[in-house]
Amino acid sequence: MVQFALWDIFTFLLGAMRWTVLLSLIAFVGGGVLGMGLLFLRFAQWRGAGIAVAWYVQIFQGTPLLMQLFLVYFGLALLGMDTSPLVSAAICLTLYASAYLTEIWRGCVNSVHRGQWEASASLALDFTQQMRHVILPQAARVAIAPTVGFMVQIIKGTALASVIGFVELTKAGQMISNATYQPFLAYTFVGLLYFALCYPLSRWSQKLESHRLA
């Protein structure tokens, strides 16, 4: 039986963690951009657009992320697209993040007093100008804490990408566990590394929240 030094396990996991971070960043940035687009659609008062976005959000909130990953992974293959696990996971997590972020931000926009819409409208600003110069700067103050908090959800969500064969932190832990027959040790390391990623973000989010309420 091959003996693995703890250090080897650790460096292997650390290497895989880079993919967790990369996937999280793609999902967060992509989801943020798409979510912002959806936010504009939701408030633009175009016929049907608001309802369409609401349904989009409901679909992603009402189904398990694991199932969404399967559907995207196998769905893209069915469409004849030869996609890597990374691309599938990135697309799926981007869509997932966009749905949640647009919903989080919708609440923040709604928290801006109606008088701000009315005052900017009566100054003849158009919708995009109202959003960009009046509403979003105020909504952003409220949005920062829950948005950072949601980043933690995304990082943990990337673990599911292991099931479509993407080698990120969880999948790497699985591989170590299979090779060493020491699943508890392997997953303890995995858990610690996730915690090291998420804990600072959680603390930051809490700090922002208490700062806002202070």
Partner 1 sequence: MTDTNSPDFALVDIRGLHKRFGSTEVLKGIDLQVRRKEVVCIIGKSGSGKSTLLRCINGLETFEQGSLSIDGQALRHGDRNAMRELRQQVGMIFQSFNLFPHLGAGRNVMLAPSLVKGLPKEESRARAQALLARVGLDGMFDRLPDQLSGGQQQRVAIARALAMAPSVLLCDEITSALDPELVGEVLQVVEMLADEGMTLILVTHEMAFARKVSDRIVFMHQGLIHESGSPDDIFKHPKTPELQQFLSALRD
**Nearer CB in complex with partner 1: 69/131:** 131
Q: Which of 11, 129, 206, 210 binds partner 1 (CB under 8 A)?
A: 129
**Nearer CB in complex with partner 1: 120/147:** 120
CB of 133 to partner 1, least distance (A): 6
Query: If binding is defined by CB under 8 A, does position 111 make contact with partner 1?
Result: no
Query: If binding is defined by CB under 8 A, does position 212 make contact with partner 1?
Result: no
Query: If binding is defined by CB under 8 A, does position 180 make contact with partner 1?
Result: no
CB of 207 to partner 1, least distance (A): 21
DSSP the chain: -----HHHHHHHHHHHHHHHHHHHHHHHHHHHHHHHHHHHHHHTT-TTHHHHHHHHHHHHHSS-HHHHHHHHHHHHHHTT----HHHHHHHHHHHHHHHHHHHHHHHHHHTS-HHHHHHHHHTT--HHHIIIIIIHHHHHHHHHHHHHHHHHHHHHHGGGGGGGT--SHHHHHHHHHHHHS-HHHHHHHHHHHHHHHHHHHHHHHHHHHHHHH-
Query: If binding is defined by CB under 8 A, does position 48 make contact with partner 1?
Result: no
Query: If binding is defined by CB under 8 A, does position 43 make contact with partner 1?
Result: no
**Nearer CB in complex with partner 1: 15/137:** 137
Q: Which of 124, 181, 213, 214 binds partner 1 (CB under 8 A)?
A: 124
Using CB under 8 A, count the residues that bind partner 1. Answer: 19
CB of 101 to partner 1, least distance (A): 21
CA distances (Å), origin 169, targets 34, 90, 91: 26, 15, 19
Binding site for partner 1 (CB under 8 A): 113, 115-116, 118-127, 129, 133-134, 137-138, 141
